[in-house]
């Protein structure tokens, strides 16, 4: 289900014959959407419930996550082209560089979303706010901030005047 065709004006580049890192997916995401025509372009926190289903041994890594209302989910948009440098996202002739877009078609197709945590039951985290196809591989989960995040600088310290 990878997008096969270039749209008008789109440019694909040959991918380098090199691998720089190795990912291990930590689970899969269950969503109501099996094709792109149904899937939202960006999730909304009042969207439908979706499940992050973790593989062993990652269930233990959820300890403490229940304290957060908003969490960040990183996922691998596995049905994407990875060679587009210029894209025509709306089929309307307007062209944009890949890094000026949040398109799923990118060299390392990582999607991110800030989602609302609904519940955690064993290895399954239920959230609202996703925008990926059913079965999308899960890369990581993080709280929006955590106990060890530095606090924001007070406004006065930001001032250059």
Give the binding site for ligand SAM (CB under 6 A).
36, 39-42, 77-80, 102-104, 111-113, 131-133, 136
- 150 is written with which tokens? 């530095």
- 154: Cβ contacts below 8 Å, ≥ 6 apart: none
Q: Which residue, 87 or 136, is less far from ligand SAM as judged by CB?
A: 136
Q: How far apart are CA 61 and CA 118, in angstroms?
A: 17
Q: CB of 37: closest distance to ligand SAM in angstroms?
A: 8
Q: How far apart are CA 100 and CA 86, in angstroms?
A: 9
Q: How far apart are CA 106 and CA 81, in angstroms?
A: 7
Q: Which residue, 92 or 158, is less far from ligand SAM as judged by CB?
A: 92
Beta carbons of 26 and 138 less than 8 angstroms apart: yes
Q: CB of 56: closest distance to ligand SAM in angstroms?
A: 23
Q: Which residue, 70 or 103, is less far from ligand SAM as judged by CB?
A: 103
Q: Which residue, 102 or 145, is less far from ligand SAM as judged by CB?
A: 102
Q: CB of 119: closest distance to ligand SAM in angstroms?
A: 22
Going by their DSSP bridges, the two strands 49-54 and 96-97 should be labelled as unpaired
Q: CB of 81: closest distance to ligand SAM in angstroms?
A: 9
């Amino acid at each position: 289900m990878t997008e096969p065709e270039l749209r008008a004006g789109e440019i694909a580049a040959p991918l380098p014959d090199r691998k720089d890192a190795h990912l291990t997916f930590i689970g899969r995401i269950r969503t109501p959407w099996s094709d792109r025509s149904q899937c939202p372009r960006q999730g909304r926190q009042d969207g439908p419930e979706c499940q992050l289903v973790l593989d062993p041994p990652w269930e233990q890594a959820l300890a403490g996550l229940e304290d957060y209302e908003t969490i960040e989910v990183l996922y691998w948009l596995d049905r994407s082209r990875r060679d587009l440098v210029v894209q025509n996202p709306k089929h309307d002739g307007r062209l944009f560089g890949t890094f000026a877009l949040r398109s799923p078609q990118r060299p390392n197709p990582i999607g991110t979303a800030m989602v609302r945590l609904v519940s955690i039951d064993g290895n399954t985290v239920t959230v609202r706010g996703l925008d990926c196809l059913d079965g999308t591989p899960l890369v990581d989960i993080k709280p929006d901030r955590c106990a060890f995040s530095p606090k924001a600088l007070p406004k006065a310290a930001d001032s250059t005047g």
